[in-house]
């Protein structure tokens, strides 16, 4: 309980700092440090602990199995809406906040041993989807063309993905540097959550009926579908719980920011991120409790 209170406190600190005289690029600076230092250090510590078995493979596959399902459901949901609304939801529903929000929440709910699976889901699932699928959606709805070279550049220039490949190849880090990696990795949760809180926005004219449907699809339907798939596969309980909880994470801040920057229903995109983060603090513990009771 104390850990969850700490998560909420860090989000509130970020929201309070919106009123302070912070530098214009404050959130970007925090994100830069997390992406280039905190997250790679966490990857180097946690990924070598994962055995590359069926459970790990299912953790990687589940976001890709969910993607076409969510794509189809979003197309149905937005059949009577403008294309910018459809483009926004195609970004913010399949792409979840599986690292900045996912890591601290799953660490709180399932413990540190689950973080390796979180990183597998995030890097081989969410990040690859952002680089490949997300870039394709933006290109298609902005100019009607997909830039393959730009997509590949984004993929191989992302530091955590590079370090993930390195950790899978190299294995456990030397004992001499592990304590220093632990110190750097410890910065991930506070910096990421303060950045998330600082970035939260709830303003603008919002279609609340559509927002409600989109939030239900993102926070409840996605994890239910994931649970059904993984339960039939009979994977390891901890891998199943991580994958289901990751699939129920709120919309990725980066996906929301890209949708806003592209002019895709800015108010709706911001609301999906902001309201999603607040609501997930209720839905994710409920989903975790239900799974543990069932399993």
Task: Encode pLDDT of 92-125 as tens digits.
Answer: 999 998 987 888 899 889 988 888 899 889 888 8
- Residue 218 scores a pLDDT above 80: yes
Over 90: is that where the pLDDT of 3 sits?
Answer: no
Residue 90 pLDDT > 90, yes or no?
yes
Helix (H) or strand (E) holding 266: helix 266-294
Q: Are 41 and 184 in contact (CB under 8 A)?
A: yes
Distance CA 270, CA 286 (A): 24
Domains along the chain? 26-186+206-294 (1.20.1530.20)
* pLDDT given for residue 50 in this prediction: 72
Q: What is the dihedral of CA 223, 36, 152, 87, to 10 degrees?
A: 40
The CA distance from 46 to 237, in Å, is 18
Query: For residue 167, what pLDDT is reported?
Result: 81
Whether 58 and 239 have beta carbons less than 8 Å apart is answered as yes
User: Distance (Å, rounded) from C-alpha 246 to C-alpha 46?
Assistant: 17
How many CB atoms sit inside 10 A of residue 82's CB? 11
pLDDT digits (tens, 9 = 90+) for 128-183: 888 788 878 887 887 655 566 666 666 666 666 777 778 878 878 888 888 999 99
Q: Distance between CA atoms of 249 and 276, rounded to whole angstroms? A: 8
As a whole number, mean pLDDT of residues 220-227 equals: 96
Distance CA 192, CA 79 (A): 36
13, 42, 163, 198 from 48: Cα distances, Å: 33, 11, 11, 33
Across-strand partners of 251?
A: 96
Question: Helix crossing, 39-46 with 178-185: angle to 10°?
Answer: 130
On whether the CB atoms of residues 117 and 238 are closer than 8 A, the answer is yes
Query: 59: Cβ–Cβ under 8 A, 6 or more apart, which residues?
Result: 117, 120, 121, 125, 239, 242, 243
* Residue 283 near residue 134 (C-beta atoms within 8 A): no
CA 108, 26, 271 angle in degrees (round to 5)? 65
1 token code pair? 């309980």
Beta bridge partners of 96: 251
Q: What percent of the chain has pLDDT over 70?
A: 92
Are the C-beta atoms of residues 101 and 277 closer than 8 Å to each other? yes
Mean pLDDT for all residues in the chain? 85
């Amino acid at each position: 309980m104390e850990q969850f209170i700490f998560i909420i406190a860090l989000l509130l600190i970020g929201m309070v700092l919106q009123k302070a005289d912070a530098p214009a690029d404050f959130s970007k600076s925090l994100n830069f440090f997390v992406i280039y230092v905190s997250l790679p250090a966490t990857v180097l510590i946690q990924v070598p602990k994962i055995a590359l078995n069926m459970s790990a493979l299912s953790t990687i596959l589940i976001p890709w199995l969910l993607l076409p399902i969510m794509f189809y459901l979003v197309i149905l949901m937005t059949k009577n809406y403008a294309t910018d609304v459809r483009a926004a939801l195609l970004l913010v529903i399949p792409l979840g906040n599986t690292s900045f929000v996912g890591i601290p929440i799953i660490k709180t709910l399932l413990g540190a041993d689950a973080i390796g699976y979180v990183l597998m889901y995030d890097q081989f699932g969410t990040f690859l989807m952002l680089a490949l699928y997300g870039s394709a959606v933006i290109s298609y709805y902005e100019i009607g063309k997909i830039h393959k070279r730009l997509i590949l550049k984004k993929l191989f220039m992302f530091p955590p993905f590079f370090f993930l490949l390195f950790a899978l190849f190299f294995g456990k880090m030397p004992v001499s540097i592990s304590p220093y990696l632990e110190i750097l990795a410890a910065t991930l949760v506070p910096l990421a959550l303060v950045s998330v809180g600082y970035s939260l926005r709830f303003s603008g004219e919002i279609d609340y009926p559509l927002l409600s449907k989109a939030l239900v699809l993102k926070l409840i339907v996605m994890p239910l579908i994931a649970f059904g798939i993984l339960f039939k596969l009979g994977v390891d309980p901890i891998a199943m719980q991580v994958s289901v909880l990751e699939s129920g994470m709120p919309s990725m801040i980066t996906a929301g920011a890209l949708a806003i920057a592209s002019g895709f229903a800015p108010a709706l995109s911001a609301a999906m991120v902001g309201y999603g983060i607040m609501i997930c603090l209720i839905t994710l513990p409920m989903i975790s409790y239900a799974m543990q009771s069932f399993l």
